[in-house]
Amino acid sequence: MLKPCRLPAPVRERSKVVAFTSLGAALYVVGAYATSYVQSPWGMGQFRPAVIIPSVFAVLFGPLVGGLSAALGTLVADSLKHVTLYIPSLVAAVPSNFAAFYLLGKLLEGRFR
């Protein structure tokens, strides 16, 4: 009879980070793209209520997951909107989204279960 395979703890932890990051990024892409053509009330930028998604992921699954899902999600959503790899997003939005949601996750780390 075969025994179930148990992965070492670091491998399981990395797998969880990859899985939750991909899920968070995919949900953020869908949410951000759905409202990507709605102008901001201030005339510049976008109205993006989907920022709730990486916020929740940063609080529930840690700062790295929140930061990476926000960075990847915003790059993919902006690139889909512009139909090519959108370099201004890569330079400005990706690092700032990563930093903001990583910081949010660090500030709230361990406060919610």
Q: Would you list the domain boundaries of the chain?
A: 50-113
| Cα–Cα distance, 82 to 25 (Å, whole number) | 18
| Cα–Cα distance, 64 to 106 (Å, whole number) | 9
Helices 63-82 and 94-107 pack at an angle, to 10 degrees, of 150
pLDDT digits (tens, 9 = 90+) for 61-102: 999 999 999 999 999 999 999 899 989 888 999 999 999 999
What are phi and psi for residue 46, nearest 5 degrees?
A: -125, 155
- Reduce the DSSP state of residue 39 to 3 states and report it: strand
* Contacts of range 82-89, beta carbons closer than 8 Å, 24 or more positions apart: none
pLDDT digits (tens, 9 = 90+) for 20-66: 999 999 999 999 999 888 888 887 778 889 999 999 999 999 999 99
